[in-house]
Amino acid sequence: DLQMTQSPSSLSASVGDRVTITCRASQGISSYLAWYQQKPGKVPKLLIYAASTLQSGVPSRFSGSGSGTDFTLTISSLQPEDVATYYCQKYNGAPITFGQGTRLEIK
């Protein structure tokens, strides 16, 4: 099966920093890539789909880019409420698979 690998696995940054999380697919997936945010003890929330389309209601400091095998999620100015684990997900057919997650903390 196609594998999704995120880096880094964990990350600590300061409020106001620009943060980038990377997701790599083991095979090309075009733009069938989504990003989710999961705060501790909460349900995952869709941030980005189709690699770069911002889901309605998501703050504009979140952005996504990439296609094929390499993708990034960028937070332009980190806020305290962004503390969470972030997952990428590929959905170009079954099986749908998720990355292992990136845990983001405030320094």
Partner 1 sequence: QVQLVQSGAEVEKPGAPVKVSCKASGYTFTSYAMHWVRQAPGQRLEWMGWVNAGGDDTKYSQKFQDRVTITRDTSATTVYLELRSLRSEDTAVYYCVRDIQGGAFDLWGQGTMVTVSS
**Where does this chain bind partner 1 (CB under 8 A)?**
32, 34, 36, 43-46, 49-50, 55, 87, 89, 91-92, 94-101
CB burial string 12-30: b at 16+ within 10 A, e below: ebeeeeebbbbbbbeeebe
Point out which residues pair with 43 in neighbouring strands: none
Least distance (Å) between residue 107 CB and partner 1: 23
Nearer to partner 1, 80 or 95 (CB): 95
Nearer to partner 1, 71 or 87 (CB): 87
Torsion of CA 77, 60, 79, 76, to 10 degrees: -20
Point out which residues pair with 102 in neighbouring strands: 86
Least distance (Å) between residue 94 CB and partner 1: 5
Least distance (Å) between residue 106 CB and partner 1: 21
Nearer to partner 1, 37 or 78 (CB): 37
What is the rounded CA–CA span in Å between residue 67 and residue 73? 12
Nearer to partner 1, 80 or 94 (CB): 94
Least distance (Å) between residue 84 CB and partner 1: 13
DSSP H/E element including 89: strand 84-90
